Structure 1
């Protein structure tokens, strides 16, 4: 195989041969992000000479998330950490968290120019101020990818499961697995678009399949233990013959505790999201019946692949299909 030359490196990095020459010979005058593209292309092609080290670590991908106390976001953060360890040392993946209910803080973090960024991955809720910040940085040329949920409907690519299908799947399980007929309730965190999509799919399924098992009531939890427990307690009081519960969001542990203590708790067919220590134990105990896990590890891999493609560090176009969610029951543990 022929040794790579300037043209090969330029083609791989998406720059001109003059830029490659300036970088490899240390002549300066090249933007840091282009320097990193050239050096990474040269390393990938095994260019047979010692490469400059002055700009190492400047190709930075920032990942901004919320709710570090939750198992799901811990899994997502850990996935980014593990994948980052397999990338070229020239690529740095910086993970950080912001407060979910402080949109101004999230917007400020998105707009920050403290450190040069080659790409931005967001797992944050949407709001007008956050959306405006996303639009601004994207207009400045920063690639943006949304994971789990969208911070903007118009800018950036989305990596996640088909949440509408997840909601319909939850409805299907309850309607087919319920041990008797009666009312069904759901709980969600309305600030997240993906939760609203799940509830829409859940509701549409029951609307299209009318019968003695019906979706009667929607409660709001903010994905917090106290609010989730209060919502479910209210539902159990309103519907003495409740037969099904769908939690479209988090805080499953509080719902599990309510059902565990309630005299009718084990009669309620419970479908929720994310495999955690709590939901694993609840499945084994029979408090929970089905878990729909949205595979944060797969979402992290796809998001990084997409950013690397957008900045020209790989020629492989990632799959565009929604991430497959995983259905887990006690029999699969």
Structure 2
């Protein structure tokens, strides 16, 4: 293929040919983010001429995360680190951890990062201030994708499992595999993550559509994915509901919940479904404290989010389909 023309590069970058000429001839006067679009388009089209030194800079993709101490976010962060190591040196993946309970700080980082970036990946709670900030940067042409939850008002693509289906699957397995009748409860972080709302809604809908006369879905507990709080809530529930036979944890803190059940006389009588396969949850499956674990493959979510941003930046022409990530169901028989 012949060397692309300024017109080819301009068409791909969505700018005028005069802008391309200024960038590729190093004449300045072009905004940094526009320079990066032009350079990305030139690279994607295999432009042969050496780019001016000032414009052979780094394309930075920033990943906003929370809760580095939790299993899911730790796995997600590690996945981005591994992917970054495999990319061209001209592409940087920067991970930034922010406080989960300070949406205004997350919104501020979205609007004023203090760094030059070309793309944005978010794994943060859904909050109006975050949605407003994201809408602003999207209106400026910033490629953005979402992991973990859908942020209201954003056009950014969502990458993740079908959480409603996961909740329904949890209820399906519990209803068919737990022979004892009694009370069932759910537990999740809170209302701040759409994924947890979807999981609990799917769980509730299934039990409502396929009722068992001896099952009662009694309540949803909000543990904030915090070990101490979640464990305390489960201990109180065990005391208040001696007929507890089912527990669906739509969020984190599986380890703390397993510790409570191991110390309880009825631990093997309670059918426990949770998310995220880890060493501890694998051991809980082998021990019989947990019965089913859904793993949502954060590594696959990280890979697809990077691919989507690079595609939006024009780094490659490969079509990126984005169906729901398939979650994997684990029991003691297949770990």
Q: TM-score range by the shorter chain?
A: over 0.9
Conservation of the 8 A alpha-carbon contact between 2:40 and 2:313: no
Match of 1:95 in 2: 95
Match of 1:276 among 275, 278, 281: 278
* Match in the other structure for 2:134: 134
Note the alpha carbon deviations across 1:185-208, whole angstroms, 9 max, x for none: 111112212111110000000000
- Structure 1-normalised TM-score? 0.92
For residues 323 and 59 of structure 1, what CA distance do their matches in structure 2 show? 27
Q: Is the 8 A contact 2:41 2:314 kept in 1?
A: no
User: What is the correspondence of 1:77-226 to structure 2 with a 5 Å cutoff?
Assistant: 77-190=77-190, 191-211=192-212, 212-226=214-228
Conserved? CA contact 1:147–1:158, under 8 Å = yes
1:19-44 superposed Cα distances (whole Å, 9 cap, x missing partner):
44333322223332333333344444
Aligned partners of 1:129, 1:240: CA distance in 2, in Å? 42
Q: 1:265 to 1:127 in 2, by over 3 A?
A: same
Counterpart position of 1:53 = 53
Q: How many residues are aligned here? A: 333
1-side partners of 2:297 and 2:268: how far apart?
27
Task: Render the CA deviation track for 1:257-284: whole Å, top value 9, x for unaligned.
Answer: 0011101012111100011121111111
The aligned residue for residue 22 of structure 2 is 22
Secondary structure at 1:243 match in 2: strand
**Cα distance, 1:155–1:14 mapped onto 2, change above 3 Å:** closer
2:23–2:55 contact (8 Å) kept in structure 1: no
Contact 1:68 1:74 in 2 (8 A): yes
CA distance in 1, matches of 2:4, 2:278: 48
Matched residue of 1:282: which SS?
helix
CA distance in 1, matches of 2:279, 2:57: 36
Cα distance in 1 between the residues matched to 2:140 and 2:39: 24
**Secondary structure, counterpart of 2:244 in structure 1:** coil
1:292 is matched with which residue?
294
Residue 14 of structure 1 contacts residue 312 of structure 1 at CA under 8 Å; is this kept in 2?
Answer: no
In structure 1, list runs of 5 or more residues that go unmatched: none
Q: Deviations over 1:56-97 (max 9, x none)?
A: 444221110100011110111111122222323222211110
RMSD across aligned positions (CA): 2.0
Asked whether the 8 Å contact 1:164–1:201 carries over to 2, the reply is yes
Once the two structures are superposed, what CA deviation does each residue of 1:234-266 show, in whole Å capped at 9, x if it has no partner?
221222122111000001110000011101012
Gaps of 5+ in 2: none
Report the equivalent of 1:253.
255
- SS at 2:97's partner residue? strand
Aligned to 1:314: 316
